[in-house]
Amino acid sequence: MGQPGAEDVPSLPWIIRHQVTQHPLVKVLRLELDAGEAEALACALELKADLILLDERRARDVAQRLGLRFVGLLGVLIEAQRQNRLHRIRPVLDDLRQNAGFWITDALYQRVLAAAGE
C-alpha cells in the first residue's frame, strides 16, 4: 500500500478530527484569513495545541498575535531528516516546487538545504 491520499484521511487512526465550536472566533479570523486557516487557528486555540502547521505568512502573523506556536512544511521536513525519517530533503523540495506548486524562493531553498546539511 502506498502513501495515503486526502480521501484516506478520515480512516487513518492517528488523525483525530475536531469540529470547531467557536464560530464567532472563526468569523473574526475570516476578516484576515481564508476559511481553512481561520478554522485551523480556532481549532488550535480550542484544543490548546502545542503546535500548528502553517505555511502562509498571513496565517503565521495571526497565529503569532494569538500566542500560537507554528511550524511550516519545510520545518517538518528538516525535523524528519534530523530524526532519520527522511534521507534527503532536496528531492522532496524539488518535487514540491515542480509538481505540487509549492512556492519557495531560491534563498529559502538554499537555507533549507544548508539546515539539512545538503
pLDDT digits (tens, 9 = 90+) for 1-24: 456 566 777 777 877 788 899 999
Per-residue pLDDT of the chain (118 residues; tens, 9 = 90+): 456 566 777 777 877 788 899 999 999 999 999 999 999 999 999 999 999 999 999 999 999 999 999 999 999 999 999 999 999 999 999 999 998 888 999 999 999 999 999 9
Q: Give the pLDDT of residue 4.
A: 55
Question: What counts of helices (H) and strands (E) characterise the chain?
Answer: 6, 2
DSSP string, 11-41: G-TT--------HHHHHHHTTTS-HHHHHHH
Predicted TM-score (pTM) of this structure:
0.77
Dihedral angle computed from the Cα positions of residues 61, 63, 64 and 65, in that order, rounded to the nearest 10 degrees: 90
Q: How many residues does the chain have?
A: 118
* Angstrom distances, CA of residue 67 to CA of 28, 48, 52, 59: 16, 10, 11, 12
